[in-house]
Amino acid sequence: MKAVGYYLSLPFLYFISILPLPVLYALSDFLYVIIYYVIGYRKAVVRLNIKNSFPEKTQEERLKIERDFYKYIVDFFLEMFKCLTIPKEKLLERISLGNKEIIEELYKKGENIIITTGHYGNHEWVNQVLPYLLPYKIKTIYRTQHNPFFDRLFMGFRSKYGTEMIAMNDSYKEMRKKDADPFVLIVANDQSAVPDKAFWTTFLNQETSFFTGTEVFAHKFNIPVVFVCITRPSRGRYHAIFEMITEHPQEFPKGKILEMHAQKLEKYIRQDPAPWMWSHKRWKYKKINGKYVDVNYKHEN
């Protein structure tokens, strides 16, 4: 059945991918109405996440964030399918970097880097062409898809311009390898982490778990950590902004790197909430009075 679903979807995905961007965004405007008002894709999850993250906002303000998010998420998925055929020259016209000198200075020193980020803005477009924007060899940690056919499809367009995709389970082994050239390891850390192995901090007004891999790798191998956020100045254009967390992670106490990651990500989300993945079940677990509690999103509204 997985193969059937894949091969039935493939012509549709390529049809979307070859559409000119103005037509793609017109299609997105139409699909937004269907997905938001008719299907209501994960609306309960999105609404609860926004409500808990912004209790100080009015109902109308939260609904505006909700609608803006759905407009963005439809754009994002269509832009992701565009990755199948869009030339790198077209992507490079739509992506810019801020504070690039932070990365260039570390490269001159021959340092490997861990870049920590979240699912904010179109990480697919940026990840695809980052080898053309930075002097480093680019490695990105990813979660494998449940459908192996779609997994190969995603791997194909994510790596076709030189980005090396590393399965999450292989990340430690990858860090131990001796590379001839300096590399950047990109880690997205804004999904729900297993509670008893996670770092906990207040994030968007809630006790939130974070995966510890970024900090573990940084401490063990003494690799500088840089935060990046991909903002959206306008529709179909993205600006990746780099911010230094530390060049000397072993001088930081446990939890400091992850705390700074959480603070920086929250800053950008509060400035512009729409391009963050509110449809993720980010808070599947809560920490209440020192105890871990499983959250049932269906019964939390």
Q: Encode pLDDT of 66-88 as tens digits.
A: 999 999 999 999 999 999 999 99
- Share above pLDDT 70 across residues of the chain, in percent, rounded to a whole number: 99
pLDDT band at 3 (very low <50, low <70, confident <90, very high): confident
Q: Are residues 80 and 101 in the same domain?
A: no
Positive or negative CA dihedral for 31, 36, 40, 42?
A: positive
- Would you say 212 and 258 are in contact if contact means Cβ atoms under 8 Å apart? yes
Is residue 136 domain-shared with residue 245, that is, in the same domain? yes
Residues 163 and 190 in one domain: yes
Task: Say whether both 32 and 176 belong to one domain.
Answer: no
pLDDT of residue 300: 57
193 & 58 share domain: no
> In terms of domains, do 73 and 102 share one?
no
pLDDT band for position 2 (50/70/90)? confident
Q: Which structure tokens are listed for 114? A: 């861990």
- Residue 289 within any structural domain of the chain: no
Look at residue 81 and tell me if it is in a domain. yes
155 lies in which domain range? 92-276
pLDDT at position 172: 80
Q: b/e string for 220-249 if b means 16 or more Cβ within 10 A?
A: eeebbbbbbbbbbeeebebbbbbeebbbeb
- If pLDDT is split at 50, 70 and 90, which confidence band does 298 have? low
- Residue 187: per-residue pLDDT: 95
pLDDT at 190: 93
What pTM did the predictor assign?
A: 0.93
Answer yes or no: do 82 and 97 share one domain: no
User: Domain holding 119: CATH number?
Assistant: 3.40.35
**Confidence band (pLDDT; 50, 70, 90) for 264?**
very high
Same domain, 2 and 103: no
Asked whether residue 127 falls in the same domain as residue 251, the answer is yes
Looking at residue 111, what is its pLDDT? 94
Dump pLDDT digits (tens) for 140-191: 999 888 888 888 999 999 999 999 999 888 888 878 877 778 999 999 999 9
Amino acid at 147: N
Tell which of 61, 86, 111 closes a domain.
86
Structure confidence at residue 301 as a pLDDT band (50, 70, 90): low
**Any domain includes 161:** yes
Coarse DSSP helix, strand, coil percentages of the chain, rounded to the nearest 5 percent: 50, 20, 30
Statement to judge: residues 105 and 201 lie in one domain: yes
- Do 69 and 100 fall within a single domain? no
Into how many domains does the chain fold? 2
Mean pLDDT calculated for residue range 212-221? 94
| Pairing label, strands 183-188, 113-117 | parallel
63 and 116 assigned to the same domain: no
What residues have CB less than 8 Å from 16, skipping those under 6 apart?
24, 27, 78, 81, 82
